[in-house]
Amino acid sequence: MEKRQFINVLDEQGRFLELKASPANESSQQDSHTTSYLRLRREYQNGGFALGLGNETDHQKPENLIIAYDLDGTLYDFGKICFSVDQVIRRELGYPDITSEFYVSEFQSRDWNKFYRDLGIRDDDLEKVIEMFIERFKATESPKLIPGAREALRRTEEAIGHNNIFIITNETTEGVRKRFERDNLIHYIDRVDNPMQGKANELYKLAMCNGNEGKRVVYIGDLVSDGEDCLKARKAGAKNLRFYGITHGYAMNPREKMLEFVARNANFAETLNSLDEIDRIWKGR
């Protein structure tokens, strides 16, 4: 099967026109800056917020922006530990080894039963495997902070304020606190929300409750399932919710998989190549 890459087609002013699929060996201008006229127009036509071009609207002002981060794969290097724990469990239960590439291609956090079933775990072993993973993962050293994560949080807080930052994760509060105390991030512990499996309901509440209906709400995650949770929340009415899929090397899903999701959902989804690009969200670049 021919490999394909997704390319941002820009106009002469550097504005995004379309996301185009082309052969992987075709040279082209690539840029993840997909804040474009066509995307903004689609958002307006689909009943979302109306952003102006060139003039700052109320929606674009920092005080009217909420940014929520995923934790693992976005701020913390979770993948290697996760894969290693699951590989050991498979061996103990008599399952064959799998490759890390297959593991990350199937990884999602909306339904753990489905995830392990997709990895070949039998239904009668699902509960045992999940319990073993939770127990073993807690016993391992906590994942390390991704380079640039601390700076991204600092810059975000500086731009939009502490109370407009959220961290929505499946990790327990105990686990998050342990990491934050070690990494001198305990300042953010009051911004953590833990839905455990699936984030759609929490994202909906974040976008539509506590007077946030008129604000622009952004969720940053490394999994396609994060984007799918945003899509589910939008279908429930949270049209002010947007998704930024981060495709750096610490992401738990392959870059190609995220790019395909964004291409299918360009009316509310964009990509970030790394945390270094975080200020694009409030600067509109």
At 89, the pLDDT band (50, 70, 90 cuts) reads: very high
For the cut 60, the answer to whether the pLDDT of residue 21 exceeds it is no
Other beta carbons less than 10 A from residue 232's beta carbon: 17
Q: What is the pLDDT of residue 50?
A: 40
| CA distances in angstroms from 119 to 62, 186, 208, 251, listed in the order given | 42, 35, 36, 19
Eight-class DSSP state of 256 = H
Q: What is the pLDDT of residue 108?
A: 80
Range of lowest pLDDT (108-112, 184-188, 224-228, 235-239): 108-112
Q: Which tens digit of pLDDT belongs to each residue from 162-219? A: 999 999 998 888 899 999 999 999 999 999 998 866 699 999 999 999 999 999 999 9
Rank 99-103, 193-197, 267-271 by mean pLDDT and report only the highest: 267-271
For the cut 80, the answer to whether the pLDDT of residue 41 exceeds it is no
For the cut 50, the answer to whether the pLDDT of residue 36 exceeds it is no
The percent of residues in the chain predicted with pLDDT above 90, rounded, is: 64
Q: What is the pLDDT of residue 56?
A: 45
The pLDDT mean for the chain works out to: 83
Query: If DSSP codes are grouped into helix, strand and coil, which group holds residue 144?
Result: strand
Give the phi and the psi of residue 9 in degrees, each rounded to 5. Answer: -90, 120
